[in-house]
Homo-oligomer: A and B are copies of this chain.
Amino acid sequence: MKHADSLALLTDLYQLTMAQSYWQSGKSETATFSLFIRSYPPNRGFFVSAGLEDVLDYLQEFSFDRPAIDYLHSTRLFAADFLDSLKGLRFTGEVWAIPEGRLFFKDEPIVEITAPVIEAQIVETFVINQINLQALIATKAARCVHAAAGRGVVDFSLRRTHGIDAGMKVARSSYLAGFSGTSNVAAGQRYGIPIVGTMAHSFITSFEREIDSFRSFVRSFPDNSTLLIDTYDTLAGARKAVEVAREMAARGQRLRGVRIDSGELASLAKEVRRIFDEAGFRDVKIIGSGGLDEYDLAALAEAGAPYDSYGVGTRMGVSADAPWFDMAYKLVEYNGRPVLKLSTGKVSSPGKKQIFRFADGRRRPLRDVIALRHEELSGAEPLLQKVLEEGKRAAPSPSLKDIRETFLDEFSRLDEAIKSIQDPANYPVELSPRLQRLKQEIEKQVAETQNGRA
């Protein structure tokens, strides 16, 4: 799934027209852009960082290939000497970022890019595209893991993710946030995520009798069969699965589980559990699926539905109740001068930053302070790390498994009220006194410089 074409054109046209204008005005100063989320979508009280790995790959490989330059030339928008300058353009800057799998909160910089302004500007679109999607899905998936209250959750979303790239990134981001596997085989291949699956209704309807489809499937997968029992009538399906489990037992095999994909999931699971228990198959697992999200998982846990695990698809894979973040990539420093914008409702904070996380003796996160980059706050963990320097990775990336463990550890320590999937409490995030002062100064300066001259 590597892309053969140059990813450099995967940007908004204005990034390139602004670049030409910078270039023609000889503006090649260093700029710092800060990526952050301005507000919580409904029912969100935390975010999970994800997507950095793709951003670092992209920045390291950034370049315009010949067809890209030819295409830009064909648009007649650009000057020939500017296009010549793009041929040699590489990303030479520095990136500070919150590592993948860490909790973060509203207004906190996730990524800060410092580079010659043209470089830092052109990469904006791709950087937002990847971090927005992956943090969005990791956050949604973490909510599902939390709501499932200890039962396993797997990703079944590939058919309804928004395209191919989303299918891959959803599998990775949900695994990172604690899912136990994915149905996406390509994601298994690329990321080493455990792949899981059962059977589809079509397999069953291709046989004249439901039980023959079950028999055929367990012959092929005697160690690893989960039978889908809701095609015609769930309880009748469960009884047929019992019959097949008995046949398997007689051959020294064991039916692994059954899946229920429609109907009243809570009551059906209880009846199906009873059917299997009464037949002596207490170890046959029950998997629930069918349009589930964290709200359903919480309701099923509340109802005591005896599911062993869940397949979660569409609503997680598109983050259905909040399909985007209000994520911004803002210029915060230009040529050493802190800057901000004052657009209605969108005031940003100036300067390069660091986030300090204060925790208690049991490593439970208590509050964060957003400070200027060079500040040092004792007794707190600085979250932003230097991950790219002069366009090259500052250190090897952690493995996906390690990122997942780091996440699950920190998540387990976060206050339950902040993890709540409805009306979560607010995690405290403050600006350091020095950042507050700087912000007030610059706001005042900007208002004088701009509006005084209108």
Contact = CB atoms under 8 A, between A and B. Distances in A.
Instruction: Report the contact-size class of chain A (Cβ under 8 Å from the partner).
Output: 35 or more
Interface string A198-213: 1111111110111100
Tally of this chain's copies: 2
Contacts of A220: 17, 20-21, 24-25, 79
B206 A129 contact: no
**Which 3 residue pairs spanning A and B have beta carbons closest together?**
A13-B197, A236-B454, A163-B165
A339 B205 CA distance: 7
Given A10-B185, A75-B195, A186-B5, A219 B24 contact: yes
Nearest to A71: B189
A125 B10 contact: no
A27 interface: yes
26 contacts: A1-B5, A3-B3, A9-B185, A10-B185, A13-B188, A13-B195, A15-B197, A17-B217, A20-B220, A21-B219, A71-B189, A75-B195, A128-B159, A129-B163, A132-B160, A162-B162, A162-B163, A201-B343, A205-B334, A208-B449, A230-B343, A231-B343, A232-B451, A262-B345, A263-B343, A318-B318
A346 interface: yes
B324 A318 contact: yes
Interface of A: 1-5, 7, 9-18, 20-22, 24-25, 27, 29, 31, 33, 67-68, 71-72, 75, 77, 79, 117, 121, 124-125, 128-130, 132-133, 156, 158-169, 183-186, 188-190, 195-206, 208-211, 216-217, 219-221, 224, 230-233, 235-236, 239-240, 261-263, 314-315, 318-320, 323-325, 327, 329-331, 334, 337, 339-346, 446-447, 449-451, 453-454
Contacts of A184: 10-13
A330 B71 CA distance: 42
Given A12-B158, A314-B324, A17 B197 contact: yes
